[in-house]
Amino acid sequence: MSLEAAVSKPSNMIDLEIALREARRRRLKEKLIEKFFFLNGLTAILVLGGIFTLLFLKSYPAIEELGLFQFFLVPCGIPPPMPPPNTGSCP
Domain assignment of residue 84, yes or no: no
Question: pLDDT at residue 81 above 70?
Answer: yes
In a domain, 31, yes or no: yes
pLDDT at 72: 72
Q: How far apart are the first and last CA of the chain?
A: 105
- 24-55 pLDDT tens trace: 999 999 999 999 999 999 999 999 999 999 99
Tally of domains within the chain: 1
CB 41, CB 50: distance < 8 Å: no
Q: Which amino acid is at 4?
A: E
For residue 83, is it within any domain?
Answer: no
